[in-house]
Structure 1
């Protein structure tokens, strides 16, 4: 990933003159900016670039910026107009703290380490919690859990996970079909997890229980350590963010690796069925700095750092003016133009689904919002 990113940045150098001509500069950009603790590269770039995701091209024009991520609190960004607009970085004499990240990684730890999308059969076949000490209905920190199907030596640690969404594909064999796409169904966590092994939360969208099963999102809700081997095995619950239930799955503690750095860039193309399909940390709508699930993944050419614009479908209204009628709602139906919502940047990619962070927005993000090129 790092080699690929370096190659990408090298290729961008040929376009620096174009961007430096001022097309990407905000009219109200500051002359200088001193980097502060808590800043992100996206937020800083948004202060002087009309397209914040293009900051690697601009900053790479400065010879002293060997790595555009290694910018620290106290550094001064100076936008001068010598031979045209040019951004210059003046490192502080005493650099302090960690380098400023591209996006707020501290807010994404759970999605980078504790959330993953897995094959449904793999989740179903994983070892599972079957009971608790003293015949309790739920497990709490410091108590013993009994797990079936686990082969583990004493002292080994495990992640306790719970399925949260199931992703289903429709008409995937026909890219021209109007229903081609992926939807995310919430899983009903109020139902005992032993129900086959979970129950989808039916929202009446007509897709319940149908479609190709493309994967299950699971969330790490605790960690446990093996005390005794056997079937069931005995595990001690070390920590948990929720009460542990019968049916929760047991998986290896370390999940897939994730990128420490992100290079924002526009995709080469956008699949026609690219949509927002689920919320990771919201109910009915999401906003800036919240995580959404997208209906495209690695198999669609998606990689981390890709930035998309989101558009909300136009509403269907009645044209009562043209109908010449006093009765409201009697006119022909007209679809209004779609509305720009904001930008989303991909930070975690799976085969058919990706996680994206909403970077900015003019209105709330909803399920079904369309993805497009960021321009």
Structure 2
């Protein structure tokens, strides 16, 4: 296997590929600053690039080679080669000459794991053609073509729907005061009449019943979470010509059309502007410092959560949490009575680590995270730490 890899990755090929990747990385960085690589991550990668990764840090089942497939994520590939997938800078740093930007890894590329001299180094190439040789190939440098950090389908619905209002901004937000033809419930295509300052916006999300989110330990209100109902678009402003011909002194509401619904909308529901869409591809990584906190709530109506569900955390931007941070989940050890001791003392069993969280959205004092993996159901009060 080693001889095949050596033949496939000749010096001219490596040099050419490195040049292509470096060029592509430069174009990608010029096009968008959506792929942050921190100084610490770069430093780690540079250090690892000099000597490789100890074999003890590799996954026991790490393959000698792997062909990147459509649908793969950086998290998947990191798990394939490393015991701790959040340590992706070390996977990237195995060969910085060829992988200058970890986001420029594409379906069809082949990753080769070199385990010579007791260290692990990753090489990147292309499938061997009919002639048995690899040839350089120019690839369009569209940053969206590279593999994502994680499966974005798992979090994309929550990027606009899961919102923590700090403080309860919905209390003063525009509100629906009446419905078309005195209807009680509104669905897509119906008209809704609202009052409140639109601040020049036309497109809004609709929320209901903001509830306080309370820190499990301090009992401090950290923010307010509301039920997402759908979206509306401004159809006619209150001051539009012809809206108040009969009585020029009457209060006239703005008119909105319901453009989408997750649940039925009714009077009293509140409006919040639709934020500008952001390109999301934060890479999984560990926080740079110590991190300890608790789960505040499970998103939605569930009391306990499992894999691929969303939870709210009592740590946010002010605590150093950023999108992409990976956290370890811990289950609280039970308190038991030691029946083997004649005095029957109470004994607190140790906490056990049993899962991983992926932070995808942060607010000042709170964050939302996706449960990547878990052994036991998760509930409010459960503890998390840096991995």
TM-score (norm 2): 0.76
CA displacement 1:290-315 (0-9 Å, x = unmatched): 22211100111111222211111101
CA–CA distance in structure 1, aligned partners of residues 35 and 283 of structure 2: 12
**Structure 1 spans left out of the alignment, 5+ residues:** 171-178, 181-210, 325-330
- In structure 2, the residue matched to 1:72 is 106
Cα deviation, residue 359, structure 1: 2.0
The residue that corresponds to 2:166 in the other structure is 119
Residue of structure 1 in register with 2:254 after alignment: 233
SS in 2 for 1:358: strand
Match of 1:141 among 167, 185, 188: 188
Pair 1:41–1:133, CA change in 2 (3 A): same
| Distance across 1 between alignment mates of 2:159 and 2:93 | 27
The CA distance in 2 between the partners of 1:125 and 1:354, in whole Å, is: 23
CA gap of 1:269–1:85, structure 2 versus 1, over 3 A, is closer
Report 1:340-351 matches (<5 A): 340-351=353-364
SS in 2 for 1:137: coil
* 2:120 aligned residue (68, 80, 85): 85
The change in CA–CA distance for 1:302 and 1:151 in structure 2 (over 3 A counts) is closer
Paired with 2:92 and 2:165, the residues of 1 have a C-alpha distance of 38
Counterparts in 2 of 1:220 and 1:251: CA distance versus 1, 3 Å: same
**Offset of 1:281 from its aligned partner?**
5.1
- Partner of 1:198 in structure 2? none
Q: Render the CA deviation track for 1:86-110: whole Å, top value 9, x for unaligned.
A: 1112245697983211111122112
- Note closer, same or farther for the CA distance 1:15–1:365 as it changes in structure 2 (3 Å cut): farther
CA distance in 1, matches of 2:328, 2:384: 6
Q: After superposition, what is the alpha-carbon deviation per residue over 1:251-304, rounded to whole angstroms, capped at 9, x for unaligned?
A: 21225x6562223222233355x0112122571332332222111001111112
| Contact 1:31–1:80 (CA under 8 A) maintained in structure 2 | yes
Tell whether 2:47 aligns with 1:39.
no
Q: How much has 1:348 moved relative to structure 2?
A: 1.0
Structure 1 partner of 2:269:
248
Q: CA deviation at 1:70?
A: 1.8
Does the 8 A contact of 1:19 with 1:58 survive in 2? no
Distance 2:175 2:349 in 1: 50
| RMSD, aligned α-carbons | 2.7
Displacement after TM superposition at 1:3 (Å): 8.1
**CA distance in structure 2 between the aligned counterparts of 1:7 and 1:160, rounded to whole angstroms:** 40
Q: 1:303 aligns with which of 296, 315, 322?
A: 322
* Unmatched runs of 5 consecutive residues or more in structure 2: 1-32, 128-136, 239-251
Q: State the partner residue of 2:45.
A: 13
After superposition, the Cα gap between the structure-2 partners of 1:165 and 1:48, relative to the gap in structure 1 and judged at 3 Å, is farther
Contact kept? 1:144, 1:234, Cα under 8 Å: yes
In structure 2, the CA distance between the partners of 1:298 and 1:225, relative to structure 1 (3 Å rule), is: same
**Which residue does 2:347 correspond to in 1?**
334
Which residues in structure 2 correspond to 1:215-294 (within 5 Å)?
215-218=223-226, 220-230=228-238, 231-254=252-275, 258=278, 260-272=280-292, 274-280=293-299, 283-294=302-313
Q: Give the direction of change, closer, same or farther, for the CA distance of 1:308–1:161 in structure 2 (3 Å limit).
A: same
> Measured at CA, do residues 281 and 258 of structure 1 come closer, stay the same or move farther in structure 2, by a change above 3 Å?
farther
Q: CA deviation at 1:354?
A: 0.8
Q: Distance in 2 between matches of 1:48 and 1:373?
A: 21
Aligned partners of 1:263, 1:8: CA distance in 2, in Å? 14
Q: How many residues align?
A: 327
Tell me the SS of whatever aligns to 1:289. coil
1:240 positional shift: 1.1
Contact in 2 for aligned 1:126/1:149 (Cα 8 Å): yes
- Find the aligned partners of 1:246 and 1:28 in 2 and give their Cα distance: 57
TM-score, with structure 1 as normaliser: 0.78
2:201 pairs with 1:167: no
CA contact (8 A) 1:163 1:216 kept: no
Larger Rg: 2
Identify the match of residue 87 of structure 2 among 27, 47, 54: 54
Q: Which residue of 2 aligns with 1:312?
A: 331
